[in-house]
A and B are shown apart, each in its own frame.
Chain A
Amino acid sequence: MKNKNPVWKFFVSVKLTVFLLLSLAATSVIGTIIPQNADPEIYFHKFGPFLFRLFEVLDIFDMYHAWWFQLLLFLLITNIVVCSIDRLSATWKLVFPKKIMFNLARFEKLKNKEAFSIDGLPGELEDKYTSFAAKKFGRQQVDKTGDGFVLFAEKWRWARFGVYIVHASVILLIIGAIIGSLFGFEGFANIPEGESVDSVRLRNSGRVQPLGFTIHNEDFDISFYDTGAPKEFRSSLTILENGQPMLKKDIIVNDPLRYNGISIYMASYGEMAPEKQAEHDFSMEIIHLNFTIKSSGMVYKRKTEIGKPVNIPEGNGTFTLTAFNPDAEFRGQNIGAALAGTLSPVQGEPMEVLLPLHFPNFDKMRRGAVVISVADQQKETFSPMKKEDVRYYSGLEVNRDPGVWVVYSGFIIMIVGCFITFFMSHQQICIEVMRKGNKSDVRIMGIANKNKIGMRRQVEKFAKHLANMR
């Protein structure tokens, strides 16, 4: 009745499986070549307006969560479920038959049979052979024939279920993933040393997720190898509920803290921005500039103020300061206080130049004929902060995933299932013994539902063993 349904027929096909697996493999490549979930601006610059629009419509920039990719996964799961159900009843009947029937004719059709002749009558061999078969195979049956006996034995009939176990494990993985995405969250929190949070920001939506407890960051520590490579990131955390400390733990990468089903991971760290010192306002003052001429290597100091052009020595044009910015940015990086000016070379277009007060070498990056910097900046403004003064924050990944145990059981079941599917087969052997004068003729045949070469080799081994049995 099932087979009549066209939907069922569509999903029961292994052609569909092959198509879906290859489509998933091929499309998955896209997301490894185009970095996922980056800034739209970056994509726009890289691909131009047309491709950008097209890729955006197809969700290429977050393709593993795109509707069409999820649809492929959904079709694969449906395919797995339908195929498994469709074939399960036949396998079930094979594994749990009303009565296990051995059929000599099935064995006689085999190409590979082992045969030998041995001293002794069938009656004398029967006990030895049955105990051998019992040891190697377990379940067995002996049928008397006119001038001897036929011994059937088998093992691992249930191994026919192996592939269903693998399929069930895949379904468990998907269920676990769905549970995780419905009832879990992925958040993060940057906690400065000595401070606490009781909520985190979610990665995908940016929403604030209350935790129901407080995470206090006592201390962050970083240690290095003598090569300079980082050795350990360590945050000493305390969990508090209603102001009462409940749990204390130092977390490092690979050793998270778990509390109330929420896991807290050591993910990143950073230095706190130093306390802002009030910057001196230059806008109304006389400013000294240093001009370093590349060709001669000479450094000239010139006095100027904002709005007043100054001649650059050695005939390199003019320079005019235009503005002072106490909090300037360069390519999105904060570079502190800076003066801006216009450089007008003798030949070529005038250009904007930025002179950060704290980085006298900054203008070298421009690779011009002249390097301009602000002279006489007080030394202490530049000196880097002493190590012990640096205040860190711990970047914590804070997640809840109630589906993870379903996924993990799926993992274990998948390994067990693969092992059974690949390396265990339903094996049956048949040993036929016939009297021939004072001797017996013995034939051995074996059937397996998988790994036929292995079965053939096993039958050869048994034949050798039985021929030498005394």
Chain B
Amino acid sequence: MNSSQLLSFVTFMYGFAATFYIAAWIFKQTMPAKLARWVAIAGILMNAAGFILRWKESYDIGYGHAPLSNMYESLVFFALTIGIIYLFIEIRYKATVVGAFATPIAFLAMAYASLSPNVSDKIQPLIPALKSNWLIAHVVTCFFGYAAFAVAFGISIMYLIKSWAPDKESGILARLPGLNDLDELTHQMIMFGFLFLSIGIITGAVWANSAWGSYWSWDPKETWSLITWFVYATLLHARTMRGWYGKRIAYLSIIGFGAVLFTYFGVNYLPGLHSYGAV
């Protein structure tokens, strides 16, 4: 079995986990929730195994680089980081319902990687610009940032759903965590994401300076990462200094994740230096 086959299997694992989590949430069952957790954990482990296997395969072919060099590999890693962050929340905050909103995002990332005809799962050699020790540091930090924002997005959606009827004592809304907890969790995720996005932009700048001789050149990907940074910086300031919370923060978090998605995917349709991610 090669890594691509293993990873397309991971797509189904995340799909099942998402289905079980949503079923457990809607039908108030503990059985599917437990099942979902184990399927999700198995999926994350297989995702990690697929990532490592692909790394090894690239050495076997003779290219020898970390699987972080194109759209397929980044999507696989994106799903893995979402899985890791989700698992951390599940363990630390014991908030199972979050799974119903986080695992679908990991599933969509893997489904897009495995099924889209525009995304090739072929292991390609590194072009000269990508041959740098900064590759791993830059991509890993960026994607932990993206993943934290993705999970924050999921929690913000939960917040907006919950805020329809926050005081209801039964039904699916009642099974969502309390508004304050969701709000605080969004904030925590965004702080984590902001730190990693900052490190991601910084490692990218240092890398650009060693490859092209300029740490900032306003190429569309750089600019969009900065736009994302501005949006989340706005959120953090509005919350800390102006006391914004709840719905307003949830909306900003959703807008911020829109900027993340554009930085990740949309920019590939614009002209610029960062075209590796598109292939």
Which residues does A use to contact B, with CB under 8 Å? Answer: 14-15, 17-18, 21-22, 24-25, 28-29, 31-33, 35-36, 64, 177, 186, 225, 227, 229-233, 252-256, 263, 265-267, 397-399, 401, 404, 407-408, 411, 414-415, 418-419, 422-423, 451-453
User: In whole angstroms, how far apart are the Cα atoms of A228 and B227 in the complex?
Assistant: 36
B163 on interface, CB distance cutoff 8 Å:
no
| Chain A residues in 8 Å Cβ range of B226 | 28
B128 touches A28 (CB 8 A): no
User: In whole angstroms, how far apart are the Cα atoms of A452 and B234 in the complex?
Assistant: 21
| Chain B residues in 8 Å Cβ range of A33 | 270
B234 touches A414 (CB 8 A): no
Given contacts A231-B128, A254-B210, A408-B206, contact A18 B218 (CB under 8 A): no
User: In whole angstroms, how far apart are the Cα atoms of A363 and B218 in the complex?
Assistant: 41
B218 touches A399 (CB 8 A): no
B166-218 interface (Cβ within 8 A of A): 181, 184, 188, 191-192, 194-195, 198-199, 202, 205-207, 209-216, 218
Nearest A residue to B197, CB-CB: A418
| Chain B residues in 8 Å Cβ range of A186 | 213-214
| Chain A residues in 8 Å Cβ range of B242 | 14-15, 18
B267 on interface, CB distance cutoff 8 Å:
yes
Given contacts A230-B128, A252-B128, contact A32 B267 (CB under 8 A): yes
| Chain B residues in 8 Å Cβ range of A252 | 128, 131
Q: What sequence of 0s and 1s flags, for each residue 19-39 of chain B, a beta carbon within 8 Å of any chain A beta carbon?
A: 000000000000000000000
A36 touches B218 (CB 8 A): yes
| Chain A residues in 8 Å Cβ range of B227 | 25, 28-29
B60-101 interface (Cβ within 8 A of A): 63
B202 touches A18 (CB 8 A): no
| Chain A residues in 8 Å Cβ range of B191 | 422-423
Additional pairs, 12, CB under 8 Å, beyond known A252-B131, A415-B195, A422-B191 = A22-B234, A24-B230, A32-B220, A32-B272, A36-B218, A225-B125, A229-B124, A263-B213, A404-B209, A411-B205, A414-B202, A453-B184
**B258 CB, min distance to chain A CBs, angstroms:** 11
Nearest A residue to B180, CB-CB: A453
B131 touches A422 (CB 8 A): no
B212 touches A265 (CB 8 A): yes
Nearest A residue to B199, CB-CB: A415
User: In whole angstroms, how far apart are the Cα atoms of A422 and B218 in the complex?
Assistant: 28
User: In whole angstroms, how far apart are the Cα atoms of A451 and B92 in the complex?
Assistant: 14
Contact of B237 among A17, A227, A233, A254 (CB under 8 A): A17
Contact of B132 among A254, A267, A422, A452 (CB under 8 A): A254
| Chain B residues in 8 Å Cβ range of A231 | 125, 128
Nearest B residue to A83, CB-CB: B241
Contact of B127 among A14, A35, A230, A401 (CB under 8 A): A230
| Chain B residues in 8 Å Cβ range of A31 | 218, 223
B231 on interface, CB distance cutoff 8 Å:
yes
B149 on interface, CB distance cutoff 8 Å:
no
B234 touches A21 (CB 8 A): yes
| Chain A residues in 8 Å Cβ range of B216 | 177
Which residues does B use to contact A, with CB under 8 Å? Answer: 63, 124-125, 127-129, 131-132, 181, 184, 188, 191-192, 194-195, 198-199, 202, 205-207, 209-216, 218, 220, 223-224, 226-227, 230-231, 233-234, 237-238, 241-242, 259, 267, 270-272
A254 touches B188 (CB 8 A): no
Most B C-beta atoms less than 10 A away, residue of A14, A17, A21, A266: A21
**Between-chain CB contacts (< 8 Å), 13 pairs:** A14-B241, A22-B230, A25-B231, A32-B220, A32-B272, A229-B124, A254-B132, A265-B211, A397-B212, A397-B213, A407-B215, A422-B192, A453-B184
| Chain B residues in 8 Å Cβ range of A253 | 128-129, 131, 211
Given contacts A25-B230, A25-B231, A411-B205, contact A229 B212 (CB under 8 A): no
B206 touches A411 (CB 8 A): yes
**A464 CB, min distance to chain B CBs, angstroms:** 16
**B92 CB, min distance to chain A CBs, angstroms:** 9
| Chain A residues in 8 Å Cβ range of B230 | 21-22, 24-25, 28
User: In whole angstroms, how far apart are the Cα atoms of A36 and B124 in the complex?
Assistant: 31
Nearest B residue to A29, CB-CB: B227
**A333 CB, min distance to chain B CBs, angstroms:** 21
B267 touches A229 (CB 8 A): no
Nearest B residue to A76, CB-CB: B230
Nearest B residue to A225, CB-CB: B125
| Chain A residues in 8 Å Cβ range of B224 | 32
**A235 CB, min distance to chain B CBs, angstroms:** 12
| Chain B residues in 8 Å Cβ range of A230 | 127-128
Nearest B residue to A14, CB-CB: B241
| Chain B residues in 8 Å Cβ range of A398 | 213
Given contacts A33-B270, A230-B127, A411-B205, contact A21 B213 (CB under 8 A): no
User: In whole angstroms, how far apart are the Cα atoms of A408 and B223 in the complex?
Assistant: 19
A229 touches B127 (CB 8 A): yes
**B181 CB, min distance to chain A CBs, angstroms:** 7
Contact of B210 among A15, A17, A229, A256 (CB under 8 A): A256
Nearest B residue to A224, CB-CB: B125
User: In whole angstroms, how far apart are the Cα atoms of A397 and B209 in the complex?
Assistant: 11
| Chain A residues in 8 Å Cβ range of B267 | 32
A232 touches B128 (CB 8 A): yes
User: In whole angstroms, how far apart are the Cα atoms of A350 and B65 in the complex?
Assistant: 58
**B172 CB, min distance to chain A CBs, angstroms:** 24
| Chain B residues in 8 Å Cβ range of A35 | 271
B198 touches A414 (CB 8 A): yes
Contact of A265 among B205, B206, B213 (CB under 8 A): B213
Most A C-beta atoms less than 10 A away, residue of B129, B192, B233: B233
User: In whole angstroms, how far apart are the Cα atoms of A29 and B224 in the complex?
Assistant: 7
Nearest A residue to B211, CB-CB: A254
| Chain B residues in 8 Å Cβ range of A15 | 242
User: In whole angstroms, how far apart are the Cα atoms of A231 and B129 in the complex?
Assistant: 9
User: In whole angstroms, how far apart are the Cα atoms of A253 and B125 in the complex?
Assistant: 15
User: In whole angstroms, how far apart are the Cα atoms of A263 and B241 in the complex?
Assistant: 43
**A414 CB, min distance to chain B CBs, angstroms:** 6
